[in-house]
Structure 1
Amino acid sequence: MANRPWLSHYPHEVPPTYDYPDQNLAEFLVRTAERSPNQTALEFMGARMSYGTLLDSSYRYANAMISLGLRKGDRVAVMLPNCPQAVIAYYGTLLAGGIVVMTNPLYMPRELEHQLLDAGARFIVALDLLVGRVRQATREQPLERIIVASVADYLPFPKNLLYPLKAKKDGTPLPKLDYGDRQLLNFVKLLRESLSDPCRVPVESRHDLALIQYTGGTTGFAKGVMLTHRNLIANTIQSELWNYRNEGSKERYFAALPFFHVFGMTVLLNQGIRLGATLYLMPRFEINAVLKAIHKHKPTVFPGAPTMYIAIINHPDVAKYDLSSINVCISGAAALPLEVQERFERLTGGKLIEGYGLTEASPVTHANNIWELRKSGSIGIPLPDTEARIVHPETGEDVRPGEIGELIVRGPQVMSGYWKRPEETAQTLKDGWLYTGDLGRMDDDGFFYILDRRKDLIIAGGYNIYPREVEEVLFEHPDVEEAIVAGVNDPYRGETVKAFVVLRSGAEPDAAELKAWCKERLAAYKVPKAYEFRDSLPKTLVGKVLRRKLLDEELQKQEETK
């Protein structure tokens, strides 16, 4: 207990340790489908798919891939938004013994080329709209097969017939593809012509990879994180244990987080399928469509990113929608401002908690209690079987409670390493401990607080300034919808604090007012010296603000004014 004070704050329903099954990750789907074949697994734009049909389709896909030459350990890229084909290709690849490489549909050819070459992917499942981009990215080293999926494939009648017309009207006409080309295969036709015999290639869960997940790549090219079947099984169950009041197949998961992000993959896809819940699939987060869907389909669980909750609470017509079905929301991918948490909970009556994780940990390591003690500004306490320490960034020695250092974690969800990067693996994994690169502290109760990435720390005039602390103060201002703080070059102080702010509708930019607000609440050296008002902030598809992009823009401005 001396080393794990957080255990005294565990709900009595949550075990501190668990015996995770040694199996293929896709067994979650197999067992749920055998138990409840007629239960609705997926809802997609008016269409429904049962667990029995989902498993049948996944078996067909697995058999088709094996007939195309897929062997255990081969990599298959999946470049799709949240849609039925993404789920089928994911579990089907795993059943066939393949390794999934989830790929962001927004990637440009240069980013895609790096990822496909680095992973050594033989096949890709891609949206019809993206085939041209895939071919451009693989011109030098073509893939063996491009399996083409369309949004229309699983739409109900007459939406499936109207979809091409709508796509043309929206300025994204569907490409005319030549399926006489041996490289191209139609997803639906491939499944239809394949056997539905059970296909379950045995795996060694502790060592065999299920996924190569590429990290953000905000500095240089992205690295492939190697996650085993056991890594993902453990993290799915750890997250499920934390939400101990879940009602299994009665739950309705709102799947707005993309499955190609490991947070969405674990807390939505894998967890929902294991429980036998219904997943309502959103191909993209569009606030008006989201509010209508929540109002109509009554989801109970809504994992998301802070920007999603910010968009909901600030929507001018939010009062017109019934959001009371939402019971539990786990926020990840970025810091959750207290103001956002409190307003969202008042609006829905549900619980919104902040968690913490990183791709290298499948991804969740910490979460606040949902119904018991939680602390403002904290990422919570470690999940079952997860150890965490705060160490001195230079010496690696443990620091005392309350002192700032680097967060390191250890547990069954921690990656086996970076794909083909032994040196970087050795720098990040030491004696089983994952060095996160995040600065934080632990209090006497074992609750952890993240201050910022080591690389985002602002050093101004010799003082350490943590952007999150300043952002929390800005979020409390009634006119501020979003805010991000970064250190920009300053000839005198080395760095100075700059705030990038998005105002709420109807508010007028007033830098002096914001500065006065911050002065009342922060030490003088932490107060932003510059304020830039913007219509929006650059974000990843999962909603994480790209601080690096803002800094690059700032550097470019400084170069232009020299």
Structure 2
Amino acid sequence: MSAYTDRPWLARYRAGTPTDITAENASALQIFMSAAAHAPDAPAIKYFDGVLTYGELDAAADALAGALRADGFTAGDRLAVYVQNNPAFVIGLLAAWKAGGSAVAVNPMNRQRELAYLLEDSGATALLTLNTLYDEVAAEVIAGGTTAVRTVISVSALDGQSRDDDRVLGDQSADVPVGTRALSAIIAEHDGTPVTPTAPSADDLAVLTYTSGTTGKPKGALNTHGNLAFNAQTYRDWIGLTGEDVVLGVAPLFHITGLVGHVMLAPLLRIPLVLTHRFAPAVMVDAVREHRPTFTVGAITAYIALADSGGARPGDFDSLRALYSGGAPIAPAVADRLESVFGAYIHNIYGLTETNSPSHAVPFGVRAPVDGESGALSVGVPVFNTVVRVVDDDGEDLPVGAIGEFATSGPQVVPGYWNRPDATAESIPGGELRTGDVGFMDSDGWFYLVDRKKDMINASGYKVWPREVEDVLYGHPAVAEAAVVGVPDEYRGETVKAFVSLQPGKAATGEEIVEFCKSQMAAYKYPRSVEILDELPKTATGKVLRRTLRDQAAARA
């Protein structure tokens, strides 16, 4: 892209691969093993008042890997990991790799139907689960006999800290469910028994991460060891993180952002990862106050929740020098408000499960531009060794400024989907990912995300992109969160409906918000109705569920 040649600060970020990919860090497992070998006494995980060093983490993973092998877990098998943001997630991940297999990252919000589907589809032979989740969800699934699971290991949310702690928020059961083996007992039994793993190649499967299933059943993305290792280094080198930093685990670890931007990044730098079991604003503020993290990446809704929690005191956020947000677009008005709270600019980062987190990012220390016509804040520029085209429905390149689908290729793009050759051929033809996200590139090489293809609203023949309307809604002084969907309309075919939640202590009516939007956008774009909710429905990663709102509105209509 010639647009970069006259801008040295951008050209520096297009210079190529992160600088020191070697045999030691070319795979996800090698990154952890290198950390354990060279920094065994360095803190790996800080979990409330507990600390796990890299040496202890390595020994715990050895113990679990040995137990898995003893139960018949062989090369190529899969361990499903069904926990919250606990040390057990990292132990399970490492153990699966050391035992010669891979992991299946399972959303802890999944219930019986969803868990059964993931276990059946992945063919997982072992399950690591919170004991509370086993009792409430997994026991029924395993008893159903439809999965290949032979071994179930349970873990308490209290494991990894030195005392009971109310901050674990109600998941404080230490009971070992019948039919499971406690992870703590396995670690004690196999302590000091090293496991010699078969070193995986960069192309070997590391984790199956399942897509959200918005257009059908969830698909398992084949996240390889090389994919994870490359983008962990992208985070490090793009932002300029060092061995003096501390990572705050805001994003769920089962999600690709948490998996790469937290779990993989920390051992690459041999620095601590701060975990808090689940995201709760007051608990997260307390963790920031106690552990003084310097970097995090998470959904913008998480930052909004922290800003509006009311529990922070002056100076609490001073340690956070590098903040990034991915998973959902940031409205410029929200970015400005949050900067006033955190004292640091929140940089956009953009990617998908299939790109192992970032394919685009705003360079650290640079403020993203705002498109003058749409009002959208740029999601950044393509990261190292990454090529992104803006294409039409036929896959042909579109000119600068034209809106089309992002098509991404690079070392972070997955090779395909688990047992889905047709879906792989359709979505990743020739190794280039058709993202389903619609946007454009400006003449300076900045990319702007307009919306998901499927979320476009057709109102009387006019295209309305929900993202643009949401950005306007965020400019209202009382609005905390906003989501816009198309709903059936007898006259227009579809019409624009908005759902909002309000900032604490602020008041507004739906009619007032409609008038606010009406004054700032074309007649076919502004919402015809605004519904005020206490909270918008979200995924576990903090992304607002437009689909749920759309379905609810359509059912009422």
TM-score range, shorter chain: over 0.9
- How many Å apart are 1:365 and its aligned residue? 0.3
Kept in 1: contact 2:157–2:277 (CA 8 A): no
**Cα distance change, pair 532–140 in 1 and its aligned pair in 2 (3 A):** same
State the partner residue of 1:401: 400
Q: Distance in 2 between matches of 1:171 and 1:396?
A: 49
State the partner residue of 1:140: 145
- How many Å apart are 1:520 and its aligned residue? 2.3
Match of 1:238 among 234, 237, 245: 234
State the partner residue of 1:199: 196
Kept in 2: contact 1:391–1:397 (CA 8 A): yes
Q: Distance in 1 between matches of 2:406 and 2:81?
A: 32
**Cα distance change, pair 170–387 in 1 and its aligned pair in 2 (3 A):** closer
Matched, 1:130 2:125: no
Q: Which amino acid aligns with 1:381?
A: V
Kept in 1: contact 2:157–2:173 (CA 8 A): no
Kept in 1: contact 2:61–2:91 (CA 8 A): yes
- How many Å apart are 1:321 and its aligned residue? 5.5
Q: Which amino acid aligns with 1:522?
A: M
Q: Distance in 2 between matches of 1:6 and 1:495?
A: 45
Q: Distance in 2 between matches of 1:11 and 1:391?
A: 23
State the partner residue of 2:373: none
State the partner residue of 1:504: 503
- How many Å apart are 1:87 and its aligned residue? 0.9
Kept in 2: contact 1:6–1:447 (CA 8 A): no
Q: Distance in 2 between matches of 1:397 and 1:478?
A: 42
Give a deviation string over 1:502-533, Cα, whole Å, max 9, x none: 01123333223212221222111111111100
**Cα distance change, pair 36–201 in 1 and its aligned pair in 2 (3 A):** same
State the partner residue of 1:491: 490
TM-score (structure 2 length as normaliser): 0.93
State the partner residue of 2:470: 471
State the partner residue of 2:526: 527
Q: Distance in 2 between matches of 1:96 and 1:193?
A: 17
- How many Å apart are 1:303 and its aligned residue? 1.0
Q: Distance in 2 between matches of 1:203 and 1:74?
A: 14
Q: Distance in 1 between matches of 2:175 and 2:197?
A: 35
- How many Å apart are 1:351 and its aligned residue? 3.1
State the partner residue of 1:150: 156
Q: Distance in 1 between matches of 2:430 and 2:215?
A: 26
Q: Distance in 2 between matches of 1:198 and 1:399?
A: 52
State the partner residue of 1:111: 114
State the partner residue of 1:278: 272
Kept in 1: contact 2:511–2:529 (CA 8 A): no
Q: Distance in 2 between matches of 1:11 and 1:344?
A: 29
- How many Å apart are 1:24 and its aligned residue? 3.6
State the partner residue of 2:214: 218
Kept in 2: contact 1:228–1:415 (CA 8 A): yes
Matched, 1:390 2:394: no
Q: Which amino acid aligns with 2:378?
A: S
Instruction: Give the aligned length.
Output: 544
Q: Distance in 1 between matches of 2:520 and 2:97?
A: 52
Q: Which amino acid aligns with 1:150?
A: S
Q: What secondary structure is seen at the aligned counterpart in 1 of 2:228? A: helix
Q: What secondary structure is seen at the aligned counterpart in 1 of 2:296? A: coil
Q: Which amino acid aligns with 2:479?
A: V
> What aligned pairs does 1:153-192 form with structure 2 within 5 A after superposition?
153-156=159-162, 158-159=163-164, 170=170, 177-178=177-178, 181=179, 184-192=180-188
Q: Which amino acid aligns with 1:487?
A: G
Please tell me the root mean square deviation across aligned C-alpha atoms, in Å. Answer: 2.1
State the partner residue of 1:311: 305
Q: What secondary structure is seen at the aligned counterpart in 2 of 1:342? A: helix
State the partner residue of 1:329: 323
> What aligned pairs does 1:8-157 form with structure 2 within 5 A after superposition?
9-10=9-10, 12=12, 15-18=15-18, 20-21=21-22, 23-132=26-135, 133-138=137-142, 139-141=144-146, 143-156=149-162
Q: Distance in 1 between matches of 2:531 and 2:538?
A: 17
State the partner residue of 2:548: 549
- How many Å apart are 1:97 and its aligned residue? 1.7
Q: Distance in 1 between matches of 2:298 and 2:56?
A: 28
Kept in 2: contact 1:24–1:203 (CA 8 A): yes
Q: What secondary structure is seen at the aligned counterpart in 1 of 2:81? A: strand
**Cα distance change, pair 474–301 in 1 and its aligned pair in 2 (3 A):** same
Q: Which range moved further: 441-450 or 338-347? A: 338-347
Matched, 1:267 2:261: yes
Q: Which range moved further: 11-20 or 224-233? A: 11-20
Q: Once the two structures are aligned, what percentage of the paired residues are identical?
A: 34
Q: Which range moved further: 107-116 or 520-529? A: 520-529
Q: What secondary structure is seen at the aligned counterpart in 2 of 1:191? A: helix
- How many Å apart are 1:350 and its aligned residue? 2.2
Q: What secondary structure is seen at the aligned counterpart in 2 of 1:505? A: coil
Kept in 1: contact 2:13–2:384 (CA 8 A): no
Q: Distance in 1 between matches of 2:94 and 2:332?
A: 37
Q: Which amino acid aligns with 1:71?
A: T
Give a deviation string over 1:158-181, Cα, whole Å, max 9, x none: 42xx78xx99x9597665633xx4
Q: Which amino acid aligns with 2:186?
A: L
Q: Distance in 2 between matches of 1:333 and 1:370?
A: 18
Q: Distance in 1 between matches of 2:145 and 2:318?
A: 52
Q: Distance in 2 between matches of 1:105 and 1:374?
A: 34
Q: What secondary structure is seen at the aligned counterpart in 2 of 1:522? A: coil
- How many Å apart are 1:59 and its aligned residue? 1.9
Q: Which amino acid aligns with 1:201?
A: T
Q: Which amino acid aligns with 2:156?
A: S
Q: What secondary structure is seen at the aligned counterpart in 2 of 1:539? A: coil
- How many Å apart are 1:369 and its aligned residue? 1.4
Q: Distance in 1 between matches of 2:333 and 2:105?
A: 33
Q: What secondary structure is seen at the aligned counterpart in 2 of 1:524? A: coil
Q: Distance in 2 between matches of 1:251 and 1:176?
A: 36
Q: Distance in 2 between matches of 1:330 and 1:538?
A: 22
Q: Distance in 2 between matches of 1:343 and 1:198?
A: 50
Q: Which amino acid aligns with 1:339?
A: A
Kept in 2: contact 1:63–1:199 (CA 8 A): no
State the partner residue of 1:364: 358
